[in-house]
Amino acid sequence: MSDSIHEQICIIGSGNWGSAIATKIGRNAAKLPFCHDTVSMWVFEEEVTLPESDKPVKLSEVINSKHENVKYLPGITLPSNIRAVPDLKEACQNATLLVFVLPHQFLPNLLPIIRANVHPTRCRGVSLIKGLDFDSKTKMPVLISKTIEEAMGRGFVCGVLMGANVANEVAMGKMCESTLAGNFGDDRINERIRQVFDEAPNFRVARIDDVAGAEACGALKNIVALGAGFVDALGLGGNTKAALIRVGLLDMAKFCGMFFEGVEQGTFLESCGMADLITTCYGGRNRKCAEEFAKLRLADESINIDQESCNALWTKIETELLHGQKLQGTLALQEVHSILESRKLEESFRLFSMIYNISFKGEPVSSMTDAIQVKKSFTEMLRRSSSRRLEIS
């Protein structure tokens, strides 16, 4: 890429996390010499009612006039160079860097439009989406970054940004770390993209090559966080949650080694690994909603709850507690369970399986501790899972 080419950045999504990362990207784009000043942020248009008026107004207009996402990130001022655009074609016109930060179930309808309007040869992407796709034919998990790459075509490269990044804390400027995983062409381009996100000293971004490990951790840690919510509802305390986190990390490492190539042990000690797992198990929407789910279940565990009833309860909790945000942990849990069930691996992943059984099959919440035990070492776990990957691929 020529030094004369400026990055035209487009953020695809404007929810809680999308608006939070926009605070970093906007300020960086305004000062980095290789970026266009204006950053487009695609907004799924909604109407909101402001306290000073009874008349509904468009969310994009509020963001552009007040520089605040009053619905998903209230109280935080967005940089004035963030431009909310409800038309996707316009938002990503000639973009050279796409930042994907929205529920992944919306991607299939959006990617053809995005592909047709971005810069045809210089565009790359970074996904902040926490989830996995599932190939119904091969019964294998598929990285969302790979789904994006295939849909975009033309040699499009998509990395990921994952880490211990609670959105509101990032937006408020509290110090945290994040991991940028990907190789975007050469060292100079890699560093440029890292700088787009990095805002030291409060948002420190390190780059690694291991996209598969970083991205899978971002999805799987939400499953463990559901278990953490169950532990909290049971009132079991910090020791039990620490054990859950340890066993959860081992299940994450085993799953990554079994189903993805090139996963590095060191990735699990990056912000995208252990740190993200810890913060998600102590805060965040998945833990919060799982605690509420378990409390409602514990109120009367004598009732046999079938999958339909569990789904309805999760939907009710999501609506009441998240106010428009989406609960990604239950989606990832269902996808992972489909993979494990299709290959008869439920017993090999007892923690994931127990969280699924409590969440969707009416297993008593009190059974949670039965699955918090693993005797194999971390290194042995990765070695054996890698060998098993060769058998199932």
Predicted local confidence at residue 305, as pLDDT? 79
Query: If one looks up domain 215-392 in CATH, what number appears?
Result: 1.10.1040.10
DSSP 8-state code for residue 37: S
Is residue 250 pLDDT above 70, yes or no? yes
Q: State percent of the chain over pLDDT 70.
A: 93
213 is in an annotated binding site: no
Contacts of 321 (CB under 8 A, 6+ apart): 285, 288, 289, 292
Contacts of 67 (CB under 8 A, 6+ apart): 77, 78, 79, 80, 82
Q: State percent of the chain over pLDDT 90.
A: 80
Predicted local confidence at residue 383, as pLDDT? 64
Predicted local confidence at residue 33, as pLDDT? 96
H-state helical runs in 237-377 = 237-259, 276-282, 285-298, 307-322, 328-342, 350-360
CA angle 393, 102, 178 (to 5 degrees): 75
**For residue 113, what is the enclosing H or E element?**
helix 107-117
**Catalytic residue numbers?**
221
| 210, 221, 308 from 217: Cα distances, Å | 11, 6, 28
Predicted local confidence at residue 385, as pLDDT? 62
Q: What distance in Å separates the CA atoms of residue 124 and residue 159, rounded to the nearest whole number?
A: 8
237 is in an annotated binding site: no
- Which residue, among 32, 30, 31, 14, has the nearest Cα to 22 in the 3D structure? 14
Q: What distance in Å separates the CA atoms of residue 122 and residue 137, rounded to the nearest whole number?
A: 33
190 is in an annotated binding site: no
265 is in an annotated binding site: no
Residue 201 preceded by cis peptide, ω within 30: yes
pLDDT digits (tens, 9 = 90+) for 20-32: 999 999 999 999 9
- Which residue, among 90, 131, 97, has the nearest Cα to 29 in the 3D structure? 97
Amino acid residing at 53: S
| Coil vs helix vs strand at 238 | helix
Q: What is the mean pLDDT of residues 182-201?
A: 96
> Could you tell me which CATH class the domain 9-209 is placed in?
alpha beta
- pLDDT confidence bin for 116, thresholds 50/70/90: very high
Domain ranges of the chain: 9-209, 215-392
Q: What is the mean pLDDT of residues 183-199?
A: 96
Range scoring the smallest mean pLDDT among 267-271, 277-281, 332-336: 332-336
130 is in an annotated binding site: yes
Average pLDDT over the chain, rounded to an integer: 92
Phi (first) and psi of residue 125, to 5 degrees? -140, 160
352 is in an annotated binding site: no
Q: Beta strand pairing status for 124-127 and 97-100? A: parallel
Phi (first) and psi of residue 245, to 5 degrees? -65, -45
